[in-house]
């Protein structure tokens, strides 16, 4: 199928490797190389970085957090980042560059969580790791120099889906206060039945075949699309979104996740949650890796604007 990609992105598509994730170990190595090639050696200037092992969920291993503290702190706020990768790929190392940029340019503390990956650790392990890390950040707000009422959660792709689940979990458990949820191209719906999910079977980076592997890995074989999938695993299934934090939702035009992101933003609005929704034209899932493209620069700059406003920086 042919797609009307943004011209700058179209020029890069032909040089992009095919991402096929059914062989998980190979896909992990492949994606790590792809991120290293796309982002290069990160700029570490102006930011102090340290790792911290914190208590994990009951009966589970400790969780590693990476804490980015800018030399120039502007506000006692924090961003709690959850990396993407279809629940099965990625690491906090792969996203050092973007998190260093957030800390340096916003002047706030950024904390990212090294959650366990599926299929070795299916739901609820990844989400519970994210929750345990968020609880630690809130409990240690004074030591971290942050206001516990000024924590935004931030994730893209599966990270966006985990953040949406995290917001629901924190609301229902009476957990840490979340000031804002940044849901970039979120992976939210295991039913795989939206028009975009049915149509985009061969799009770059992410497509319907990869989504099938992703959800089967995260939920376990045979659970995808069945009635008993929890809302915390697939937030698109939630029928009560009241009381959730304000949100930003982005979607890409030629992304199978497009329609579930739009539907979730609409559902949040109907529940009385303040939402900003942005659909970027001519883009595909992961097209932001083509950093020099104007639409990618606009997306990255908008993230800073959105987070500054949300955290009152």
How do beta strands 78-82 and 151-156 pair? parallel
Q: What angle do CA 11, 13, 16 make, to 5 degrees?
A: 125
Tell me if residue 255 is catalytic: yes
Catalytic residue among 96, 114, 189, 255: 255
Catalytic residue among 250, 285, 287, 296: 285
Give yes or no for a contact between 67 and 87, defined as CB atoms under 8 angstroms apart.
Answer: no
Sequence-ordered alpha helix ranges (H) in the chain: 7-13, 24-39, 96-106, 125-139, 141-144, 158-173, 195-199, 208-219, 258-270, 294-310
Tell me if residue 296 is catalytic: no
Q: Give dist(CA 164, CA 183) in Å, integer.
A: 7
Of 92, 103, 165, which is closest to residue 128 (Cα–Cα)? 165
Of 286, 284, 247, 283, which is closest to residue 264 (Cα–Cα)? 247
Tell me if residue 250 is catalytic: no
162 Cβ neighbours under 8 A, 6+ residues apart: 82, 87, 115, 126, 127, 130, 155
Q: How many CB atoms lie within 10 A of CB 313?
A: 14
Provide the 8-state DSSP code for 235.
Answer: G
Catalytic residue among 94, 157, 250, 296: 157
- Active site residues per annotation: 157, 255, 285
């Amino acid at each position: 199928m042919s797609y009307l990609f943004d011209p700058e992105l179209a020029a890069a598509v032909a040089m992009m490797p095919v991402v096929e994730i059914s062989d998980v170990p190979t896909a992990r190595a492949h994606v790590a190389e792809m991120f290293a090639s796309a982002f290069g050696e990160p700029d570490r200037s102006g930011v102090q970085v340290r790792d911290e092992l914190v208590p994990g969920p009951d009966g589970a291993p400790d969780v590693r957090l990476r804490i980015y503290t800018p030399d120039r702190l502007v506000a006692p706020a924090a961003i709690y980042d959850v990396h993407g990768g279809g629940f099965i790929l990625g690491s906090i190392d792969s996203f050092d560059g973007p998190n260093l940029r957030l800390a340096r340019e916003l002047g706030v503390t950024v904390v990212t969580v090294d959650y366990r990956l599926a299929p070795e650790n299916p739901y609820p392990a990844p989400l519970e790791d994210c929750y345990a890390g968020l609880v630690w950040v809130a409990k240690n707000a004074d030591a971290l120099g942050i206001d516990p009422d000024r924590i935004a959660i931030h994730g893209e792709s599966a990270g966006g889906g985990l953040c949406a689940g995290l917001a629901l979990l924190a609301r229902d458990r009476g957990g840490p206060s979340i000031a804002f949820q940044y849901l970039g191209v979120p992976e939210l719906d295991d039913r795989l039945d939206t028009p975009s999910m049915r149509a985009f079977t061969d799009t770059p980076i992410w497509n319907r075949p990869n989504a099938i592997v992703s959800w089967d890995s995260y939920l376990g074989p045979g659970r995808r699309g069945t009635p008993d999938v929890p809302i915390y695993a697939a937030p698109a299934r939630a029928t009560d979104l009241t009381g959730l934090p304000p949100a930003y939702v982005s979607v890409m035009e030629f992304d199978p996740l497009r329609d579930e992101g739009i539907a979730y933003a609409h559902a949040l609005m109907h529940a009385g949650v303040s939402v900003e929704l942005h659909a970027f034209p001519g883009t595909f899932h992961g097209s932001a890796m083509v950093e020099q493209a104007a639409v990618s620069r606009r997306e990255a700059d908008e993230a800073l604007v959105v987070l500054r406003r949300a955290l009152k920086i």
